């Protein structure tokens, strides 16, 4: 606690190989964190003037963060392959040709919040290399060796799991290091908050979902929805409750991407004692077929997810 354990010494104790893989991520997100704080001065707010493979408008900071991660991760030689929200196809860096891990990332999550100075983040997911091509990225979420996110909030935090629970590290910019501030994070069994873009309620196609949300209101729950998955999930880890991005009539698989949003967050939530489901199955059991595929997401405290499943399936 306090300043006694920095990220590097923590990981050296936990797993030396993963220490080497995670250090370049740490370096990259420190640079991103520093740019996020001065984006308005550096001329990197606003749109980049193009759309990505998802058909979504790319922001300048999406591109900047993506490039920083690609540079650090490729240069490190720790990764055989890199997949990103902002890359149509994965990259296989020359220096990583003998490496044993692959990584998928959302370089900048919460793009719509960049220009309004609201929390944004980075999400990442590491698997062991199993072959030579894209199959490396198409492994189930339960096979992740590391899942994590960084939240660029009032404090910058890195929240991480190597499969032995979840630990949160707070960045002290004056020292330049992340320190363990939230050891062994656990979701409360039950919370008081639901988090969903309720403006889409008329389009929801899942039977029972509206009734479930109505029931939560009746039980005195309150609504918090930031619109950055990282921030909404971070709050859910700390305060419990439920975060959801369901399917709807326009988006049969919802909006969130499996590889670099849903799956790493599901891994963290389950490692912290919560549950993460598509409504049909555990998110971590999905065998991906496409690096940019989407999935409905319901995650949070055990009580809420079990109650939700009763409504969806009942």
Is 85 an interacting residue with respect to Mn ion (CB under 5 A)?
A: yes
Nearer Cβ to ligand AHG (18/231):
231
- Tell me the two tokens of residue 81: 């392959």
Does residue 109 belong to the site contacting Mn ion (CB under 5 A)?
yes
**Shortest spacing between CB 37 and Mn ion, in angstroms:** 18
Shortest approach of Mn ion to residue 109 CB, angstroms? 3
From 26, 106, 270, 304, residue interacting with Mn ion (rule: CB under 5 A): 106
Picking from 200, 275, 235, the residue whose alpha carbon sits closest to that of residue 121 is 235
End-to-end Cα separation, the chain, in angstroms: 45
DSSP state, residue 260: I
Question: Is residue 26 a contact residue for ligand AHG (CB under 6 A)?
Answer: no
Regarding 255 and contact with ligand AHG (CB under 6 A), the answer is yes
**Residue 119 Cβ vs Mn ion, minimum distance, rounded to whole Å:** 12
Nearer to Mn ion, 59 or 162 (CB): 59
Selected range binding ligand AHG among 1-9, 33-41, 110-118, 174-182, rule: CB under 6 A: 110-118
| 263 vs 255: CA distance, rounded Å | 13
Q: What is the rounded CA–CA span in Å between residue 22 and residue 32?
A: 15
Which candidate, 194, 192, 229, 220, places its Cα nearest to that of 209?
Answer: 194
* CA distance linking residue 302 with residue 167, whole number of Å: 19
Residue of the chain from 34, 67, 177, 197 that contacts ligand AHG (CB under 6 A): 197
Smallest distance, ligand AHG to C-beta of residue 137, A? 17
Give the distance from CA 226 to its chain's centroid. Answer: 14
- Residue 77 binds which of ligand AHG, Mn ion, none (CB < 5-8 A, kind-dependent): none
**Min CB(86)–ligand AHG separation in Å:** 9
- For ligand AHG, which is the closer residue by CB, 175 or 223? 223
Least distance to ligand AHG from the beta carbon of 281, Å? 21
Site membership for ligand AHG, residue 63 (CB under 6 A): no
- Footprint (CB under 6 A) of ligand AHG, residues 227-246: 227-229, 245
Write out the H or E segment, with its range, that includes residue 158.
strand 156-161
Strands 275-277 and 297-300, how do they pair?
Answer: antiparallel
**219: helix, strand or coil:** coil
Site for ligand AHG contains 282 (CB under 6 A)? no
Secondary structure (DSSP) of 98-140 = T--EEEEEEEEE-GGGTTTT--EEEEEEEEE--SSSGGGG-S-
Q: 124 with 264: CB under 8 angstroms?
A: yes
The span from the CA of 183 to the CA of 1, in Å, is: 8
Give the span between the Cα atoms of 54 and 199, in whole angstroms: 21
Q: Which is nearer to ligand AHG, 58 or 275 (CB)?
A: 58
- CB of 268 closer than 8 Å to CB of 147: yes
| Piece in contact with ligand AHG (CB under 6 A), picked from 25-33, 127-135, 158-166, 223-231 | 223-231
62 or 270: whose CB is closer to Mn ion? 62
Assess contact for 106 and 58: CB atoms under 8 A: no
Give the nearer residue to ligand AHG in terms of CB position, either 37 or 203: 203
Where are the alpha helices (H) located in 158-208, listed in sequence order? none
Please select the residue that binds ligand AHG; options are 26, 109, 270, 304, rule is CB under 6 A: 109
By CB under 5 A, tell whether 232 contacts Mn ion: no
Residues that bind Mn ion (CB under 5 A): 85, 106, 108-109
Residues that bind ligand AHG (CB under 6 A): 56, 85, 106, 109-112, 197, 227-229, 245, 255
């Amino acid at each position: 606690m306090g300043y006694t354990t920095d990220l590097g010494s923590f990981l050296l104790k936990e797993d030396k190989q993963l220490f080497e893989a995670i250090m370049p991520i740490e370096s990259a997100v420190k640079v991103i964190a520093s740019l996020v704080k001065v984006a308005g001065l550096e001329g990197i707010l606003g749109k980049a003037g193009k759309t990505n493979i998802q058909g979504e408008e790319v922001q300048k900071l999406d591109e900047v963060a993506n490039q920083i991660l690609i540079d650090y991760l490729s240069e490190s030689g720790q990764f055989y392959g890199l997949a990103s929200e902002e890359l149509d196809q994965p990259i296989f860096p020359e220096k990583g040709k003998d490496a044993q891990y692959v990584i998928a990332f959302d370089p900048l999550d919460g793009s719509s919040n960049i220009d309004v100075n609201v929390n944004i983040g980075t999400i990442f997911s590491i698997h062991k290399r199993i072959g030579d091509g894209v199959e490396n990225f198409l492994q189930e979420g339960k096979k992740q060796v590391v899942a994590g996110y960084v939240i660029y909030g009032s404090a910058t935090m890195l929240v991480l799991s190597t499969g032995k629970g979840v630990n949160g590290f707070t960045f002290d910019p004056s020292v330049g290091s992340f320190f363990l501030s939230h050891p062994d994070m656990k979701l409360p069994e039950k919370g008081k908050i639901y988090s969903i873009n309720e403006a889409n309620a008329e389009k929801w196609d899942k039977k029972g979902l509206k009734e479930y949300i109505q029931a939560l209101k009746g039980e005195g729950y309150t609504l918090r929805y930031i619109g950055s998955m990282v921030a909404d999930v971070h709050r859910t880890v700390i305060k419990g409750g439920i975060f959801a991005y369901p399917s709807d009539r326009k988006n049969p698989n919802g909006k969130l991407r499996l590889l670099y949003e849903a799956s790493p967050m599901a891994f963290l939530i389950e490692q912290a004692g919560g549950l993460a489901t598509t409504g049909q199955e555990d998110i971590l059991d999905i065998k991906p077929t496409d690096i940019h595929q989407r999935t409905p997401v319901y995650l949070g405290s055990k009580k809420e997810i079990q109650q939700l499943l009763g409504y969806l399936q009942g």
